[in-house]
Every structure is written in C-alpha cells, then in structure tokens.
C-alpha cells in the first residue's frame, strides 16, 4: 500500500483523483483496468464528492440466480445506475472507508466475492464496474474493456452480486 497522506481519507468530501489515482489505503490495493482509468476515472479526477449525497439511500444486493445480461438485471431489480457523484461516493465508502460505508450504506463488501455496479458512461450507455476484492481489481466490463459498451452487452455469471441504491 502507498504511504498516502491519511488526511485524504476520513472526511466528508474527497477529490476523486487524489483518492483513486493515488491508490489510498483501503481494503484493497487497486489495479485499475486501462479502460476504467481512461473512460471513468480521468474525466472525474478533479471532481470533489460530498458523502452527504449517499445519506439518503442504502445499498441493496441482488445475487444473480443464473447467468444474466445487464438488461435482465435491470428488469429484475427495477434499478437505475447511480448518479456520477453517488457512484464515486459508493466506491469510496466500499473500498476506502468500509466501516463508514457499513454505517451509511448498510453494506460492506467481502474479499471473496465479486460485485457489479452499473454506471452510465459518457456516451449514455450503461457500463458495468466490477469490483473484485480478491483480485484487487476495479474494471469495466464490455467488449474486452476497449470498445463501446452497449446495453445488455455483458453477461454476468450466476452468483455475482449486483449492487444498487435503494432510495428512502
């Protein structure tokens, strides 16, 4: 793990680039896919996120009962991807502040599971951000992580955990 200034963590706001690019101490050392870094992280690196944005919901898990594509997951859960700020706040709390994440989101991730969050990409389509704590990876699924991601393009395996916000 890096010896990053701990003042970056344990606060009400954070700058995306300071935390995710600097690989702040968390429950996992991040191995970002090139596609995740270029399409999701770089455009948001200067954004400051307030954790207040996630105080109005908790995370719900949906364990896939069979192999499913994005469209079917969204149909079964009646969910929509979190906003950009919600997305970054969720990732921050799950990865870098798991105790606070448990308190605010009523959820914490486990090292031996694989998680999926939907994310709206700049082109308006959905991408799937996969959190793999046991592999220390954060990546986007779809077309070998280099192409355009279309609705329904990723097939997720039975047993994976899809996370989505449940508004109060």
The string of pLDDT tens digits covering residues 76-96 is 998 888 888 998 999 888 888
What is the rounded CA–CA span in Å between residue 133 and residue 5?
Answer: 23
Would you say residue 63 has pLDDT above 90? yes
What is the rounded CA–CA span in Å between residue 163 and residue 59?
Answer: 6
Q: How many CB atoms lie within 10 A of CB 41?
A: 19
Q: Which residues contact 124 (CB under 8 A, 6 or more apart)?
A: none
Would you say residue 108 has pLDDT above 50? yes
For residue 20, the SS3 value is helix
Q: Supply the pLDDT for residue 62.
A: 94
Mean pLDDT of the chain: 75
Name residue, tokens 């082109």. 123
| Overall average pLDDT of the 117-139 stretch | 71
Residues 141 and 127: beta-carbon distance below 8 Å: yes
Half-sphere exposure of 114 (CA within 13 A, CB side): 14
pLDDT-based confidence at residue 61 (cuts at 50, 70, 90): very high
What is the rounded CA–CA span in Å between residue 21 and residue 166?
Answer: 28
Would you say residue 149 has pLDDT above 50? no
pTM above threshold 0.85: no
Would you say residue 139 has pLDDT above 50? yes
Q: Supply the pLDDT for residue 135.
A: 60
What is the rounded CA–CA span in Å between residue 90 and residue 98?
Answer: 10
Q: Supply the pLDDT for residue 28.
A: 58
Alpha-carbon Rg of the chain, whole angstroms? 15
Backbone phi, psi, residue 31, to 5°: -115, 95
What is the rounded CA–CA span in Å between residue 1 and residue 73?
Answer: 35
Would you say residue 66 has pLDDT above 90? yes
């Amino acid at each position: 793990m890096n010896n990053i200034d701990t003042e970056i963590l344990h606060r009400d706001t954070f700058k995306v680039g300071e935390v995710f690019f600097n690989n702040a101490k968390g429950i996992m050392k991040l191995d970002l896919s090139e596609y995740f870094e270029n399409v999701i992280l770089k455009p948001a690196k200067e954004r400051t996120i307030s954790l207040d944005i996630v105080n109005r919901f908790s995370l719900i898990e949906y364990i896939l009962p069979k192999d499913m594509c994005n469209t079917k997951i969204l149909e079964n859960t009646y969910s929509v991807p979190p906003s950009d700020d919600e997305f970054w706040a969720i990732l921050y709390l799950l990865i870098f502040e798991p105790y606070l994440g448990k308190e605010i989101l009523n959820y914490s991730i486990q090292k031996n599971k694989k998680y999926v969050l939907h994310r709206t990409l700049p082109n308006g389509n959905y991408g799937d951000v996969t959190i793999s704590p046991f592999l220390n990876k954060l990546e986007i699924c779809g077309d070998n992580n280099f192409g355009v991601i279309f609705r329904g393009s990723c097939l997720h395996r039975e047993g994976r955990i899809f996370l989505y916000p449940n508004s109060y």
